[in-house]
């Protein structure tokens, strides 16, 4: 799609022209429910560089804006890949929010951020939308450093209500401080949290709602219901009652009735309150749970009908009541037929053809680690009916979808509830079952307390399977599995493994299956393996034992790798040997317990020892240094130790290869580290002589 790269202020004449253009739509094509040509979409959006311009438009023009945003978004994501379906589902809601609320002074906090692409298009980032998730380009999530319209960074779910409540309380404190000082009241600001029904499965959302209800702070929560459909909309009548329930007249009358009702005898008052709640639920939806938590519930409202959505949002905006929950029903993938028809509504896509919707998926050269894990776990379960699998709303991303087809009765998707998943697994383990908890490394962070107290402290044999270990590319820092080695290796009773290739992953699944004496974790990266032959069945590895991969005579350098950096270590070894420097290469396999004999031998026989890991500072390398120091292996100064880790910073999104190169964890980086550490042989000889003389 051709488009202008610069935006200009729209004159009233241009607006009139745009409104005319918006009424002159072409026939539906390319799977779009309402399709615009690229020139029409460009004409509409060029005048909307900031939301302030959107607020000047009449409501009658907003559907055309929504259609243009949808067209722009589909075209952009077809080039960049990303989270398509979620954004398509909230196009009308996004347009309505920026039209009704005075952003950025009013804060809109998007939960997770998968649905934020339309928001980015409307908030001054349209000229960069085709850099989405690309090196140096826009983040795939909201990011505070990227725009003033992103008041809170996201990417993990169920945080928006807590963050928005914090902002609301800060606003209330500012207002109280101004009153106490006799200063003019600050500008009235609204705090809006937009959260999906999937994110409402996480306990943190309810913790925040419970607190919000108790504080009675003026907070707006918009429940974007795009799948579970807590209560379906019922057309015009539903919209009418939602408008009525959100309006000031209804709210004031209801509050007055409550106060008067309290003067009635207790039994009569309780019956009256129950009758009122029942009657209200009949006409405005099933909001009883939210009402009991202290929220004024409004909805459900059709999130794709601006005529219904706009007046309700205005009422909610102008309300002086405490927390309000607006239930908006949307369709994930709305307006793009291939997305609407897919099972996951095109949640996450690679580049695709707009006309057909066909994604440009490259043929893999080797099976993906995720698939290898899933198939290996199936074999374990085939042989042992005590094996169960648990995932937290990511069956496809973790390989548990494969397991679920083979053993549905032993598959448990607990929703976005990692804390529950871990303790749930602990309960299963106490009863003799063998739970495998498959969670992305970055998401397991959310259940750390449960890992410590509910599993490790009790020495329960729970198997933690951490997909997306290391760097993940386009999702950037928010999804990087950088910290699991550091936060697991410090725990007593914990065993931690990392596969160097897909064949070793098969054996590590078997190892975890056989390990019944305590918790055990295995980590593996996103993407395809290195292409080695897979064993038919895994064999349990001896706990805490690594392996020598290459051990030439007279080697001066030892590379000790944990995880899939082994292939890069071998490349670096080849390059060094081409320069006449012999290199030993070892695969640690275990970060805890360490293979002390192997490590001490490497330190004793080589001039330079380099550890490699796809994790942060404080992980495997730190464990090795601790061992060497504890055993006195560094006292004589005969070996130079270097630890290669991910940098002590959050790396921006890029390709995984580029990110590892930046971290110095590719073959070139390893080579440079070795050369910088390797002493000249003459200098080393002199040093050794002086040591002997002492």
Told to judge if 446 belongs to the known catalytic residues of this protein, a careful annotator would answer yes
Closest CA to 306 of 115, 8, 58, 564: 58
Is residue 19 part of the annotated active site? The answer reads no
For 116-126, b where at least 16 C-beta lie within 10 A, e where not — what string?
A: bbbbbbbbbbb
Entry field: residues in the chain:
694
Q: Rounded distance, CA 684 to CA 607, Å?
A: 9
**CB count, 10 Å around CB of 212?**
27
Copy the structure tokens of residue 271. 């019956």
72, 418, 502, 614: which one is catalytic? 418
Of 527, 465, 496, the closest CA to residue 659 belongs to 527
Catalytic, 187? Answer no
Q: Report the b/e string of 383-397 with b at 16+ CB within 10 A.
A: eeeebbbbbbbbbbb
Please spell the DSSP secondary structure of 487-512, one letter per residue. HHHTSTT-EEEE-SSHHHHHHHHHHH
Which H helix or E strand runs over 74? helix 62-80
Element (H, E) at 640: strand 640-644
Active-site option among 125, 317, 446, 556: 446
Q: Report whether 515 contacts 492 (CB < 8 A).
A: no
Q: Taking the alpha carbons of 33, 34, 37, 43 in that order, is the dihedral positive or negative? A: negative
Burial of 658 (0-12, 13-18, 19+ CB in 10 A): middle
- Contact between 477 and 651 under an 8 Å Cβ cutoff? The reply is yes
Q: Quick check: 588 and 545 in contact, CB under 8 A?
A: no
Strands 590-592 and 495-498: antiparallel
Name residue, tokens 């630890």. Answer: 643
Task: Give the span between the Cα atoms of 68 and 57, in whole angstroms.
Answer: 14
Check if the beta carbon of residue 557 is closer than 8 Å to that of residue 585: no
What span, in angstroms and rounded, lies between the C-alpha atoms of 369 and 367? 6
Catalytic residue among 332, 379, 526, 550, which?
332
Residues in a beta bridge with 439: 466
Active site residues: 332, 418, 446
């Amino acid at each position: 799609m051709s488009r202008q790269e610069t935006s200009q202020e729209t004159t009233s004449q241009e607006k009139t022209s745009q409104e005319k253009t918006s009424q002159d739509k072409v026939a539906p094509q390319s799977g779009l429910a309402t399709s615009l040509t690229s020139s029409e979409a460009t004409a509409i959006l060029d005048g909307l560089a900031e939301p302030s311009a959107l607020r000047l438009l009449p409501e009658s023009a907003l559907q055309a804006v929504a259609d243009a945003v949808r067209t722009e978004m589909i075209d952009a994501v077809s080039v960049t890949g990303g989270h398509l379906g979620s954004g398509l589902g909230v196009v009308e809601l996004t347009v309505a929010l920026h039209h009704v609320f005075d952003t950025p002074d009013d804060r809109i906090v998007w939960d997770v951020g998968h649905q934020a692409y339309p928001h980015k298009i409307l908030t001054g980032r349209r000229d960069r939308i085709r850099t989405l998730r690309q090196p140096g380009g826009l983040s795939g999530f909201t990011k505070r450093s990227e725009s003033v319209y992103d008041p809170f960074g996201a990417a993990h779910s169920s945080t928006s209500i807590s963050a928005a409540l914090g902002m609301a309380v800060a606003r209330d404190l500012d207002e109280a401080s101004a009153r106490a000082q006799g200063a003019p009241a600050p500008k009235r600001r609204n705090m809006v949290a937009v959260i999906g029904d999937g994110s409402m499965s996480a306990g943190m959302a309810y913790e925040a709602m419970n607190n919000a209800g108790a504080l009675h702070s003026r907070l707006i929560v918009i429940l974007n219901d795009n799948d579970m459909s807590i209560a379906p909309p019922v057309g015009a009548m539903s919209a009418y009652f939602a408008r009525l329930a959100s309006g000031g007249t209804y709210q004031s009358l209801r509050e007055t009735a409550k106060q008067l009702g309290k003067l009635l005898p207790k039994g009569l008052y309780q019956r009256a309150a129950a009758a009122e709640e029942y009657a209200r639920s009949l006409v405005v939806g099933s909001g009883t749970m939210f009402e009991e938590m202290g929220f004024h519930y409004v909805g459900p409202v059709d999130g794709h009908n601006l005529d219904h959505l706009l007046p309700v949002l205005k009422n909610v905006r102008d309300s002086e009541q405490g927390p309000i929950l607006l239930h908006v029903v949307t369709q994930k993938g709305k307006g793009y037929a291939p997305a609407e028809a897919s099972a996951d509504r095109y949640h996450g896509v690679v580049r695709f053809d707009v006309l057909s919707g066909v994604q440009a998926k490259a043929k893999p050269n080797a099976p993906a680690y995720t698939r290898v894990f899933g198939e290996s776990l199936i074999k374990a379960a085939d042989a042992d009916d005590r094996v169960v699998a648990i995932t937290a709303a990511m069956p496809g991303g973790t390989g548990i979808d494969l397991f679920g087809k083979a053993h549905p009765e032993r598959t448990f998707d607990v929703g976005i509830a990692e804390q529950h998943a871990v303790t749930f697994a602990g309960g299963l383990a106490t009863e003799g079952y063998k739970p495998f908890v498959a969670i992305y490394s970055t998401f397991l962070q959310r259940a750390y307390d449960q890992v410590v107290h509910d599993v490790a402290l009790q020495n329960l044999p729970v198997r933690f399977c951490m997909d997306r270990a290391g760097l993940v590319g386009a999702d950037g820092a928010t999804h990087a599995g950088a910290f699991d080695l550091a936060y697991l290796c410090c725990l007593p009773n914990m065993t931690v493994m990392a596969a160097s290739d897909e064949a070793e992953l098969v054996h590590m699944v078997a190892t975890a299956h056989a390990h019944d004496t305590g918790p055990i974790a295995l980590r593996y990266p996103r993407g395809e393996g290195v292409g080695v032959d897979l064993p038919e069945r895994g064999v349990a590895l001896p706990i805490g034992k690594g392996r020598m991969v290459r051990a030439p005579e007279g080697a001066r350098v030892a590379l000790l790798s944990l995880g899939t950096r082994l292939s890069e270590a071998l490349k670096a070894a080849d390059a060094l040997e081409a320069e006449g420097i012999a290199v030993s290469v070892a695969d640690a396999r275990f970060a805890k317990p360490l293979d002390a004999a192997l490590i001490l031998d490497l330190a004793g026989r080589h001039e330079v020892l380099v550890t490699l890991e796809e994790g942060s500072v404080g992980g495997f390398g730190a464990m090795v240094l601790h061992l060497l120091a504890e055993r006195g292996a560094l006292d004589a100064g005969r070996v130079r130790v270097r630890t290669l880790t991910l940098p002590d910073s959050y790396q921006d999104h890029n390709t995984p290869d580029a990110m590892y190169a930046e971290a110095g964890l590719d073959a070139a980086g390893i080579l440079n580290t070795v050369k910088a550490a390797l002493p000249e042989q003459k200098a080393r000889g002199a040093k050794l002589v002086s040591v002997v003389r002492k």
